[in-house]
């Protein structure tokens, strides 16, 4: 599925690159634009694949419709259809387990602990809650993998729930369709089926292939790594997180590899840590959740965007149709409550393009007064990804700017000049 998308989009084509640092340099140079590298140690690599435009294209919709489209798909998640098609097995070749050291898995930055899988969709199964799909960074270390599990995530819960009964079956899918990546990055409750949500996003059944060495059915990506998450721990990190700064070294679970498979002429997906693709996949799934939370308070909310400059995590812009004088400030409070990691939020009128930083800054410059329109909240729970926060107490300061036109003002004074269309 990913090959058809790659063939259909505009992309930068590079003849060859080394997997140590050189892939990073290329992806950094063209950050936000898809890059296809024809030869990395004999393998093909795609990077910067998932920006807003390519995700929308992969779903057959306009980019401005993404947020509402995701909301509708979430509402229909339970109706998503999964089909196990074992004829897909014919598309794969099996590799010896030590072949993973030859795969084009990048070493991205100078202090990285080693090669890292960054785009892998991790599939596990729980007898009570069913299948879970999520994205985690995975260190390739000697003859095994080390997976970073965030304590609040469902994978961590399922692992701890099942590891007392023995190793946990796992599969890592690399080179999945953007709908699968978007779904795997979405936070629902423990019963939320990310693969069915991917099907709802695609508006067609999602085809799965049964694994050979573990009891799992997984999306038919370009590469599939089968294995067992063990109770053994190993050092994971340092590695770069979404802010472009290094995360710390921790003891994390070891994955014992049981099978390596890839499609003939497979394309490896390299996701640049701290790049636009990383930010979009992390932030975009939060926008529908924020929209719903804000809509409960401000029914006239129009759109929500987590901005790239704020790492698609710490900063947001909210568009509303202002009905009463307090709507802007209520939208600020609702936005901060609906995404607890949010640090700064700007609320604007619906004539402002929330995807254009210049337009948002224009709204702040011409419609906000600092003594009246800024809300500051001290000592709130914040994101561990913010290097400026109080990590010991998990606290931060938060700020909202109401950059909407005051209803006490004459709106005509704020209308921007337009050039009439040719008659």
- Residue 423's pLDDT band (boundaries 50, 70, 90)? low
Query: Using CA atoms, how far apart are residues 299 and 322, in angstroms rounded to an integer?
Result: 10
CA distances from 134 to 42, 55, 109, 154, 288 (A): 29, 18, 24, 8, 18
Kindly state whether residue 162 falls inside one of the protein's structural domains. yes
Q: Residues near 392 by Cβ (< 8 Å), separated by ≥ 6? A: none
- Residue 415's pLDDT band (boundaries 50, 70, 90)? confident
Residue 324's domain is classified under what CATH number? 3.40.1670.10
State mean pLDDT over 76-88. Answer: 94
Whether residues 322 and 220 fall in one domain? no
Whether 144 and 267 have beta carbons less than 8 Å apart is answered as no
Domain C-terminal end among 235, 264, 293: 264
Kindly state whether residue 311 falls inside one of the protein's structural domains. yes
Return the pLDDT at 119.
97
The Cβ-side half-sphere exposure at 33, using a 13 Å CA radius, reads 10
Kindly state whether residue 24 falls inside one of the protein's structural domains. no
Please determine, for residue 13, whether its predicted confidence score (pLDDT) is greater than 80.
yes
Please determine, for residue 313, whether its predicted confidence score (pLDDT) is greater than 80.
yes
Return the pLDDT at 2.
82
Supply the range of the domain harboring residue 209: 66-264
pLDDT, tens only, 168-224: 999 999 999 999 999 999 988 899 999 999 999 999 999 999 999 999 999 999 999
Q: What is the mean pLDDT of the chain?
A: 94
Whether residues 260 and 294 fall in one domain? no
pLDDT, tens only, 328-386: 999 999 999 999 999 999 999 999 999 999 999 999 999 999 999 999 999 998 887 78
Whether residues 187 and 336 fall in one domain? no
Kindly state whether residue 384 falls inside one of the protein's structural domains. yes
Domain C-terminal end among 198, 231, 264: 264
The distance in angstroms from the start CA to the end CA of the chain is 46
Number of domains composing the chain: 2
Strand order in the sheet with 395-403: 301-306, 315-320, 344-349, 395-403, 374-381
Whether residues 405 and 375 fall in one domain? yes
Whether residues 146 and 245 fall in one domain? yes
Whether residues 242 and 352 fall in one domain? no
Residue with tokens 């729970």: 381
- Residue 129's pLDDT band (boundaries 50, 70, 90)? very high
Domain C-terminal end among 214, 233, 264: 264
pLDDT, tens only, 234-261: 999 999 988 888 988 999 999 999 999 9
Residue 133's domain is classified under what CATH number? 2.30.110.10
Whether residues 158 and 237 fall in one domain? yes
State mean pLDDT over 224-232. Answer: 98
The CA R_g of the chain, rounded to the nearest whole Å, is: 22
Kindly state whether residue 17 falls inside one of the protein's structural domains. no
Whether residues 94 and 158 fall in one domain? yes
Whether residues 372 and 306 fall in one domain? yes
- Residue 391's pLDDT band (boundaries 50, 70, 90)? confident
Catalytic pick among 234, 241, 247, 402 = 241
Kindly state whether residue 273 falls inside one of the protein's structural domains. no
Whether residues 172 and 125 fall in one domain? yes
Catalytic residue status for 95: no
- Residue 414's pLDDT band (boundaries 50, 70, 90)? confident
Residue (of 100, 113, 233) closest to 172 by Cα position: 100
Return the pLDDT at 236.
96
Query: Using CA atoms, how far apart are residues 347 and 390, in angstroms rounded to an integer?
Result: 26
Please determine, for residue 118, whether its predicted confidence score (pLDDT) is greater than 80.
yes
Strand order in the sheet with 217-219: 82-84, 206-210, 217-219
Please determine, for residue 293, whether its predicted confidence score (pLDDT) is greater than 90.
yes
Whether residues 349 and 234 fall in one domain? no
Kindly state whether residue 276 falls inside one of the protein's structural domains. no
Please determine, for residue 71, whether its predicted confidence score (pLDDT) is greater than 80.
yes
Whether 298 and 327 have beta carbons less than 8 Å apart is answered as yes
Kindly state whether residue 416 falls inside one of the protein's structural domains. no
Please determine, for residue 22, whether its predicted confidence score (pLDDT) is greater than 70.
yes
Return the pLDDT at 418.
83
pTM over 0.85: yes
Whether residues 251 and 354 fall in one domain? no
């Amino acid at each position: 599925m990913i090959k058809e998308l790659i063939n259909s989009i505009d992309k930068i084509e590079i003849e060859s690159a080394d997997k140590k640092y050189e892939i990073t340099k290329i992806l950094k140079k063209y950050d936000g634009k898809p890059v296809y590298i024809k030869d990395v140690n004999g393998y093909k690599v795609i990077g910067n694949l998932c920006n807003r435009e390519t995700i929308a294209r992969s779903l057959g919709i306009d980019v401005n419709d993404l947020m509402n489209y995701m909301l509708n798909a979430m509402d229909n998640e339970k109706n998503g259809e999964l089909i196990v098609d074992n004829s897909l097995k014919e598309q794969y070749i099996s590799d010896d387990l030590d072949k993973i050291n030859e795969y084009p898995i990048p070493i991205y930055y100078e202090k990285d602990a080693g090669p890292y899988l960054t785009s892998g969709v991790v599939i596990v199964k729980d007898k009570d809650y069913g299948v879970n799909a999520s994205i985690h960074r995975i260190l390739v270390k000697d003859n095994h993998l080390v997976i970073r599990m965030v304590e609040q995530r469902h994978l961590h819960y399922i692992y701890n729930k099942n590891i007392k009964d023995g190793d946990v079956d796992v599969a890592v899918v690399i080179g999945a369709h953007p709908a699968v990546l978007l779904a795997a990055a979405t936070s629902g409750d423990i019963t939320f089926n990310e693969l069915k949500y991917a099907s709802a996003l695609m508006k067609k059944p999602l085809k799965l292939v049964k694994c050979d060495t573990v009891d799992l059915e997984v999306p038919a990506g370009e590469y599939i790594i089968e294995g067992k998450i063990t109770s053994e721990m190993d050092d994971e990190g340092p590695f770069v997180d979404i802010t472009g700064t290094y995360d710390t070294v921790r003891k994390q679970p070891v994955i014992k590899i049981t099978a390596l498979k890839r499609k003939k002429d497979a394309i490896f997906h390299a996701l640049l840590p701290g790049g636009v693709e990383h930010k979009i996949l992390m932030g975009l799934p939060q926008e529908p959740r924020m929209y719903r939370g804000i809509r409960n308070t401000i029914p006239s909310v129009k759109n929500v965007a987590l901005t790239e400059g704020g790492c698609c995590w710490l900063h947001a812009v909210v568009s509303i149709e202002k009905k009463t004088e307090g709507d802007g400030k209520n939208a600020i409070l609702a936005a901060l409550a609906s995404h607890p990691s949010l640090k700064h939020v700007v609320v604007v009128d619906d004539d402002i393009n929330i995807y254009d930083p210049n337009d948002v800054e224009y709204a702040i410059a011409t419609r906000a007064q600092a003594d009246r329109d800024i809300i500051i909240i001290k000592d709130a729970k914040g994101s561990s990804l913010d290097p400026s926060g109080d990590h010991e107490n998990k606290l931060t300061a938060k700020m909202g700017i109401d950059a909407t036109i005051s209803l006490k003002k004459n709106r005509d004074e704020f209308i921007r000049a337009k050039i009439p269309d040719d008659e």
